[in-house]
Amino acid sequence: MPRIRLFSALFILAALSIPLATLVVAQRSAIDTYAITNARIVPVSGPVIERGTIVIRDGLIVSVGDKITPPADARIIDGTGLNVYPGLFDTNTNLGLPAPSPVPSPTGGPGGFLQAQLRAATTPPAPGPNSTQPPGLQPEVMIEDTIKPGGNEIENARNNGITTAVSAPRSGIWMGQSALINLSGETSQQMIVRSPLAMHVGFTPLRNGGYPGSLMGVFASLRQMLLDAQRYQKLQEAYERSPRGMRRPDIDRSLAALVPVLEGKLPVIMYADRQREIERALDLAQEFKLRAIIAGGQEAAEVAKELRDQNVPVLLSLNFPRRTTSASPDADPETMRTLRSRVDALKTAAKLSGAKVRFAFQSGGLTNMSDYRANAAKAIENGLAADEALRAMTLRAAEILGVSDRLGSIETGKIANLTLIRGDLFDRNARVTNVFVDGKPIEIRATPAPAAGTGTAAAAETRITMAGNWTINVDVQGQLITGTLTVRQEGGSLSGSMQTQVGSSEFSGGTLTGNAFHIVTTMSIQGQSVQLTINGTIEGNSLSGTVASPFGTQTLTGTRQPGN
Amino acid sequence: MKKLVTPLLLLSLLSAFPFSRATAQSAGAGNPTETLIRNATVLTVTKGTLTNADVLIRNGKIAGVGKGLKASANARIIDATGQYVMPGIVDCHSHSMLDTINEGTLAVTSMAHTRDVLNPTDVDLYRELAGGVTTLNLLHGSANPIGGLNTVVKIKYGRPASEFIFPGAMPGIKFALGENVKRSNNPNIPGAQRRYPVTRMGVEEVIRDAFTRARDYKKTWDEYNASVKRGEKNLVPPRRDLQLEPLVEVLEGKRYVHSHCYRADEIMMLINIANEFGFKVKTFQHVLEGYKVAREIAAHGAGGSTFADSWAYKIEAYDAIPYNPAIMMRAGVVVSVNSDSDERARRLNIDAAKSMRYGDLTEDEALKLITLNPAIQLGIQDRVGSIEVGKDADLAIWTAHPLSVYSRVAITMIDGDIFFDREKDLAQRAELAKERAQLEQAEPNRPAAGGRPPQAPRGRRPSHDDDDVEQGDQP
């Protein structure tokens, strides 16, 4: 008997120390105590612990250190060979928002933000039925009211190490109020860390033919509504002080929503990429003494002095601009300014750091979320200190968003959001192995390994070929967009180009594994760079799958063109 | 004639920096505070023409005009032998450097401000400097009877937008009459209501209604302010209305009205409304039938800012004649010639010269059309518009008489700093080509599939042109 018991004990021990991919997604189980042992811990708020232990209980970090004994009831996670970082932040997303509706949009997307002009095709989450303002000018709209847990986008972000995100409204001028969410939880209430987090302002006019229809009108309406909100506040206060003898002022939820903004209690996140866009946003903030945060910030380095002097932080987009197609000889050449700005965008983070401007990173419309850390690595190659980059994804992000007392670093008492990585955070070959959100481990679904070198000779002979020209259709909010996909294939590697009615692009580095293909490309649509992630399968001469973009996820179908 | 710096020397200096950024020419510090332009023909515009004369510039102002001037030891000397110096051209009607031109959704958009949409990186600014232009009146477009507010700028290309703003320029507002206003009612959404007005009657009514409301608004605020002065308590201030405030400023004479117009009847209509409400129209823009009502315009005290010889591009432009500027001038109207076009702005010197052929203006009168007169129309004549001691050093040096079709700009200077230098521009071309080649090879500039980069620049891209309402105006 003792031998069997010993054997079972050994077996259990062995099972427990099998790393993480076998860990079951924790439901409402009794297990809420975990200990990550023997890991390299990067707290960010303090020095690195080369070999240490983190104990988690009831969603919080209970202890961190190199001499900690895990409690008896803790589920042990062996962190040998792993780096543990605070859960990564993405400070500008639409995670959790319902997909854009097929109804033609009344509003344009936030201006100045390179991706956001394309998010026009959506009605705001909850157009107030009793609002005095048209959709797009309704600051009372709150993300908290329509956010939903689960879904592919949230899972995709988590698989890449992100545990906390700002979920922001998609479009409008006064776009609405965002929420800070943890990327897990079964109800929206469980997800929300703080709401409202900030007021969001975009600078793109309404596209329904109504006022404002131009950028001049946008600024005029922002200004007029802020003036009206100032007056509204005074009137309401005067009435509350002594209502007798005073005519009752009308209630106005839109103006009421701007009062915390005027008082500086709610920060304002303003979308601006170009130097002049950032300057205009700063001027507006100064005019009304708003607590501003710039989102996008591609040319923020040009305005670094003003940003520092006015103490305005930047949510810097890692969706670096790329050239999307090689031009035909008849096309106008790109301007030197455009060429320079693409190269300079990589250096912005380093320059902001040198100028002591506070910044955090955001994905800026990336759909291939492995680019999030990869692009941060590019910023490091272009002069940003590695620990500044880490801070921009963790503690600095938490500071800028006002939650550094509960998130952003590995410290006792903080929320147990952790990202475990085999390899350094910014190493191209590193893999996220575990993610803890609110103290619960979440299963990581790894992306398929590249096809090169796998499979038998027989499989190679019968390898499906995707090479050739395909006629493709993408269903975008009920509208069918057609185009051609031209693919060159070498083994399991795909490259080629895509031409559609809305834009063209080229791609490389795509993969074909069995009959499943994965392509990431950046397309120029209406002058803006949009990243598309295409996943699908091939059956004979047809393909089907999905296209993920800032719009959301759309269905893709296609047929091989004859003669291929 | 001696050049400023020999091209060879410049090239060797530039090649010392393997990958230097060829930036806009006067983008930063390092400009001398004193400059002496020597031995030129100086076209002062107001005080005659001086030959073999010098212009001394100190701290951005003209410090001396005459023969044999002396400068201090560290002054920059520009040898302008055989060249002509004239005041920088003032373009009274421009839509350059604006990210958007029209807020066309309402008939009255006086709350829209061009100052909110300035784009200092517009390359047309550099081309205008190369045409000798130094000051622009940036106007709202002509989609509305009452449009947005203007901005007067000096073309300090390379500097941030805030440094462009012309100090002390009188604020203005754009009005528009006639076809552009009536036509800019194309519905954006099928089935949507057309924006009123669609006729000239409606245009007049919109303006009258707006000023009536502005008059009432002013009265409300005057009464409120008087109550406050009397010491009354528990007062609720009226709502601030950004649409009506600029119109109140017009009524109080604190804001200039620049009105786009063509036909004689609509010019008279606006004069009558202005008289009715007690304000003055500062300039009629385009005013191609101004010659028909020149005396009435002069009696009202308005200026006219017109084209040299554009005509018949619309029905309302059909009766235009190239003698228009001359006839109005002889009737006593302050007349300027403008561009309303990034392209035409480069050759305003030729447009001014046309009035010597059509109307027998003298050289100085022709030069005034693009210098002193537009300055008067914008209220900046104390600072620019002629070469006189004490005025801003906004000048251009031309290779021949500026009214000659063979003349080109060699140097353009604003507040004593050089913003365009033809020789420097030519010398930089090789370096720019090298930089372009290097940039094309950088990773973000190579498309994903490794396609071939495009070839060298070929031809010019189209620029904003003509007076029409922008098609699909990009906001």
User: What is residue A17's predicted lDDT score, i.e. its pLDDT?
Assistant: 52
Helices B422-441 and B7-15: angle between axes, nearest 10 degrees: 30
User: What is residue A123's predicted lDDT score, i.e. its pLDDT?
Assistant: 39
Is residue B29 scored above 50 in pLDDT? no
Is residue B18 scored above 70 in pLDDT? no
Is residue B4 scored above 90 in pLDDT? no
Is residue B391 scored above 60 in pLDDT? yes
Task: Give the closest-approach CA distance of B250 to chain A in angstroms.
Answer: 19
Instruction: Summarize chain B as % helix, strand, coil (round to 5).
Output: 30, 20, 50
Q: Chain B neighbours among A 422-461 (CB < 8 Å)?
A: none
DSSP label at residue A465: P
> Phi/psi class of residue A334: alpha, beta or left (left: φ > 0; alpha: ψ in -120 to 50)?
beta
User: What is residue B89's predicted lDDT score, i.e. its pLDDT?
Assistant: 98
Task: Give the closest-approach CA distance of A207 to chain B in angstroms.
Answer: 8
User: What is residue A316's predicted lDDT score, i.e. its pLDDT?
Assistant: 98
Closest residue of chain A to B97, computed from CA coordinates: A276
- Residue B444: list chain A partners with CB under 8 A: 320-323, 342-343, 345-346
- Contact assignment for A326 to B445 by CB distance below 8 Å: no
Confidence of residue B30 (pLDDT cuts 50, 70, 90): low
- Residue A212: list chain B partners with CB under 8 A: 103, 105
- Residue A522: list chain B partners with CB under 8 A: 448
Q: How far apart are CA B265 and CA A195, in angstroms?
A: 60
Higher pLDDT, A515 or B339: B339
Q: Chain B neighbours among A 496-515 (CB < 8 Å)?
A: 496-497, 505-509
Alpha helices in A183-214 (DSSP H): 188-191
Q: Chain B neighbours among A 260-289 (CB < 8 Å)?
A: 275-276, 279-280
User: What is residue A33's predicted lDDT score, i.e. its pLDDT?
Assistant: 95
Q: How far is CA A2 from CA A14, A538, B45, in A?
A: 18, 56, 113
- Residue A509: list chain B partners with CB under 8 A: 448
- Contact assignment for B439 to A340 by CB distance below 8 Å: yes
Closest CA to A312 of A264, A362, A366: A264
Alpha helices in A193-252 (DSSP H): 215-241
- Residue A328: list chain B partners with CB under 8 A: 454
Contact at 8 Å (CB) between A521 and A537?
no
Q: How far apart are CA A477 and CA A456, in angstroms?
A: 42
User: What is residue A476's predicted lDDT score, i.e. its pLDDT?
Assistant: 76
Contact at 8 Å (CB) between A335 and A282?
no
User: What is residue B139's predicted lDDT score, i.e. its pLDDT?
Assistant: 98
User: What is residue B473's predicted lDDT score, i.e. its pLDDT?
Assistant: 42
Half-sphere exposure of A89 (CA within 13 A, CB side): 31
The type of residue at A55 is V
| A216 backbone dihedrals φ, ψ, rounded to 5° | -60, -45
- Residue B187: list chain A partners with CB under 8 A: 209
Is residue B28 scored above 70 in pLDDT? no
Residue A391 makes CB contacts below 8 A (sequence gap 6+) with A44
Residue B397 makes CB contacts below 8 A (sequence gap 6+) with B37, B40, B78, B80, B83, B84, B85, B409, B410, B411, B412, B413
In a mutagenesis test of the B interface, which of A215, A216, A241, A505 is the best target, namely the one with the most B β-carbons within 10 Å? A216
User: What is residue B467's predicted lDDT score, i.e. its pLDDT?
Assistant: 60
Positive/negative CA dihedral, B57, B63, B69, B75: negative
**What is the number of CB-based contacts under 8 A between chain A and chain B?**
168
Q: How far apart are CA B125 and CA B131, in angstroms?
A: 10
- Residue B459: list chain A partners with CB under 8 A: 332
- Contact assignment for B104 to A213 by CB distance below 8 Å: yes
- What the block records as the tokens of B31 is 């400009």
- Contact assignment for A217 to B461 by CB distance below 8 Å: no
Task: Give the closest-approach CA distance of B111 to chain A in angstroms.
Answer: 6
Mean pLDDT within B25-36: 69
- What the block records as the tokens of A162 is 């992100």
Could you report the per-residue pLDDT of A217-226, keeping only the tens digit for each? 999 999 999 9
User: What is residue A298's predicted lDDT score, i.e. its pLDDT?
Assistant: 96
Is residue B331 scored above 50 in pLDDT? yes
Positive/negative CA dihedral, A364, A438, A96, A20: positive
User: What is residue B446's predicted lDDT score, i.e. its pLDDT?
Assistant: 85
The list of chain A residues with pLDDT below 50 reads 1, 19-28, 102-126, 448-461
In a mutagenesis test of the B interface, which of A208, A214, A233, A252 is the best target, namely the one with the most B β-carbons within 10 Å? A214
- Residue A321: list chain B partners with CB under 8 A: 444
SS3 for B240? coil
User: What is residue B233's predicted lDDT score, i.e. its pLDDT?
Assistant: 83
DSSP label at residue A123: -
User: What is residue A550's predicted lDDT score, i.e. its pLDDT?
Assistant: 81
Alpha helices in B152-233 (DSSP H): 179-183, 200-230
Contact at 8 Å (CB) between B64 and B85?
no
Report ipTM for this prediction.
Answer: 0.89
Q: Within chain B, how many helices (H) and strands (E) appear?
A: 12, 17
Mean pLDDT within B265-271: 98
What's the mean per-residue pLDDT of chain B? Answer: 90
Q: How far apart are CA A219 and CA A334, in angstroms?
A: 30
